[in-house]
Chain A
Amino acid sequence: MTMSLGRRAVGVPPARPITAGREAGEMVAEGVCAWFGKRLVLEDVTLTMARNEVTALIGPSGCGKSTFLRILNRMHETIDGAQLAGTVSLNGTDIYGLEQRAVEVRRHIGMVFQRPNPFPAMTIAQNVLSGLRFNRLRVANPDEVVEEALVKAGLWNEVRNRLKALGGDLSGGQQQRLCIARALALRPSVLLMDEPCSALDPTSTRRIEQTIGDISHEVTVVIVTHNMQQAQRVSDRCAFFLAGEDEPGRVVEEGPTEQMFGNPDDPRTRDYVNGQFG
């Protein structure tokens, strides 16, 4: 759990409480670098994830997409020896500001992982409410929250009659949607998704893509995907990450999805999105 303050940009703006949920937020990353131990894995990434837009991060394996995503909600610093530089702000507030608490930041910036990870000792309903419970947020009507989140995640119809079943009793695709519901129940401003469909069948993938479309009006979505069609289908903007041999990952090109897929500036982007890479 080390974070080198020395490497952080100086001149941190005074901390303000992050303006809380209910509406999508705008994330801006500027000059973000990341290290694991002495190894620089991500260099100078500057990216704006606009409000209400779905941003897709694409690029070959190992180029630092997950690392970048984890920097956006301060999960990077939970790894031993991980360090970072640069600034990341949500609605203009530096999330790495000295007075920001990491746990508070994570509440506003939800995350869905590559592998579904519902809490096995909790029921479906408890899983959905877990974020609220962890943050000691009391709600007047928990049942409503559960229903709303599950409807948003496109899981309600399948589980409405067994909300008391354990989270682990669902199929993989259902578990992933439960994880999305769990993240949505906290009403985050931003939702980060790290290859959320990589373990799922086409039908579940469709459902989740639909979900992303449905929720993008109230939460800014950042999604990592290896599936070019998926990136095309769900995203408004795309960022292409690339790491050379023994070189850190960088953003080669970013822009509106149509342009990235239709008429990219960089030949490497064209090769990659057309599947002619390497």
Chain B
Amino acid sequence: MTTTSVNSTPGQHRFHLGQGPAHRRMRPREFGPTDIVLAGLTLLAAICTAWIVFDQLTLLSGMLGFVVVTAAVFLLYYYVLNRQLLGRRAASDRLMGAVATLAMAAIMTPLVLMVGFLFERGAHLLSWHVLTTTQQGVPLVCVPHQHCAQAGVFHAIVGTAEQVGFAMLLGVPAGILTAVYLNEVGGRLAHWVRVIVTAMSGLPAIVAGIFIYSIWVLKFHFSGFAGSLALAILLLPTVTRGTEEVLKIVPGDLREASAALGAPQWRTVWSVVLPTARSGILTAVMLGIAVTIGETAPLLFTVFGSTTTNWNLFGGPQASLPFLIWEMVKLASKSTIDLAYTAALVLFLLVFVVFLSGRILGSPWLGSAVRSLANRRSARRRVALEEVADR
């Protein structure tokens, strides 16, 4: 098979308007419209077959069994069809592609269902009112046939944002520095640090909460800050291990090149290693945030919860979204469970926003924009310096 074939028969390629000979373009192994139609029809056939076999012939029932049989029949049909149409090699390629896609679907389905469930239970309750008010003065249990004020989750959003934000402030730099120590500095202690960090990542979240309770809360009372400390303990190992893995794949060549230009080691790390690993580090940080933002256990003994907005991270009990969900579900009345679902949806959206901004921050586009801005600023500073020097 050739990759391109010249075809200059006049009139055959009416759409080719450019100069030069017309080429029939192709992309080997491309999954084109015909393949989509073929896959769709095969799926239809598979569903029909499964229905006949499953429902009509054997009188079995159950959604799961039906899906499994459909998938198996689909793979069989798809392979046979492609083998007839494209040959053995292409057919096995398509078959493996289909298996991989099915595996992906099997993983994605529960996730999508879960998110869908969350939206179904929470979306209609979401309103400006809920986002901007607190639980202050709202009775937890609604007496039947009485008007009941609707509670909001604003206080919990504030709490979660402050606690997680401060935990990031503590945990992210510490985690990245630890990873830099492990991978760039090394030495005798590195092995033990790595063992401890690994052990920390297996630490049950509640232990972090109890630990902070015993060393901080007992002395200084409950506060969002105590919660931040507990969350930072959980954030640290995730960020460290993730960052270490991406630092490992930064080529050693670059470190050598930098050293050969006369850069001290800290310079090499700061200007070459970390920028090269930037998007990977960002992923590690995002993973760390995802782990901590939904944690309830470490907050149980540290923030205490509250029904009103407490802006002060360092003083007094504070609310938090996961904590609120846990408390409201525990109360198990219609209104509290509704509130819990709303809070869960808000938490989900919050994570989504954080991830989105992380992606934007990490995109090469913004990177270059920031870079050129910084360049312009330093250029301006240089010009200013020269003007001073001239005088």
A residues apposed to B, CB below 8 Å: 73, 75, 78, 103-107, 110-111, 113, 115, 117-123, 126, 130-131, 133-135, 138, 140, 142, 164, 179, 182-183, 186
Contacts and interface: CB of A to CB of B under 8 A. Distances in A.
Interface of B: 251, 253-254, 256-264, 267-268, 271-272, 275-276, 278, 368, 371-372, 379, 382, 385-386
A78 B265 CA distance: 11
Contact of B257 (A73, A78, A105, A119): A119
Contacts of B385: 138
Q: Which of A110, A117, A131 has the most CB of B within 10 A?
A: A117
B256 A106 contact: no
B261 A75 contact: no
30 contacts: A78-B256, A78-B259, A106-B261, A106-B262, A107-B262, A110-B260, A111-B260, A113-B256, A115-B253, A117-B254, A119-B272, A119-B275, A120-B254, A120-B276, A121-B275, A122-B275, A130-B261, A131-B261, A131-B262, A134-B261, A134-B267, A134-B268, A135-B261, A135-B263, A138-B382, A140-B382, A142-B379, A142-B382, A179-B257, A182-B261
A75 B257 CA distance: 10
B226 to A, nearest CB: 38
Given A113-B260, A138-B382, 7 more contacts: A78-B259, A106-B262, A121-B276, A134-B264, A134-B267, A134-B271, A182-B261
A215 to B, nearest CB: 17
A119 B263 contact: no
B179 to A, nearest CB: 17
Nearest to B261: A131
Contacts of A113: 253, 256-257, 260
Nearest to B367: A121
Contacts of B259: 75, 78, 103, 106
A72 B186 CA distance: 26
A183 B262 CA distance: 10
A205 B226 CA distance: 63
Contacts of A107: 261-262
A130 B262 contact: no
A103 B263 contact: yes
Contacts of A164: 368, 372
Given A75-B256, A134-B267, A140-B382, A121 B278 contact: yes
Nearest to A75: B260
Contacts of B371: 123, 126
Given A121-B275, A121-B276, A164-B368, A135 B262 contact: yes
Nearest to B253: A117
Contact of B256 (A117, A122, A140): A117
Contact of A134 (B253, B256, B263): B263
A133 B264 contact: no
A117 B273 CA distance: 13
B371 to A, nearest CB: 8
Contact of B262 (A104, A119, A122): A104
A142 B272 CA distance: 20
A119 B261 CA distance: 12
Closest 3 CB pairs of A and B: A107-B262, A134-B263, A121-B275
Contacts of B386: 140
A248 B259 CA distance: 27
Contacts of A130: 258, 261, 271-272
B339 to A, nearest CB: 46
A137 to B, nearest CB: 10
Given A117-B253, A140-B386, A134 B258 contact: yes
B262 A133 contact: no
A106 B260 contact: yes
B311 to A, nearest CB: 39
A67 B89 CA distance: 49
B261 A186 contact: yes
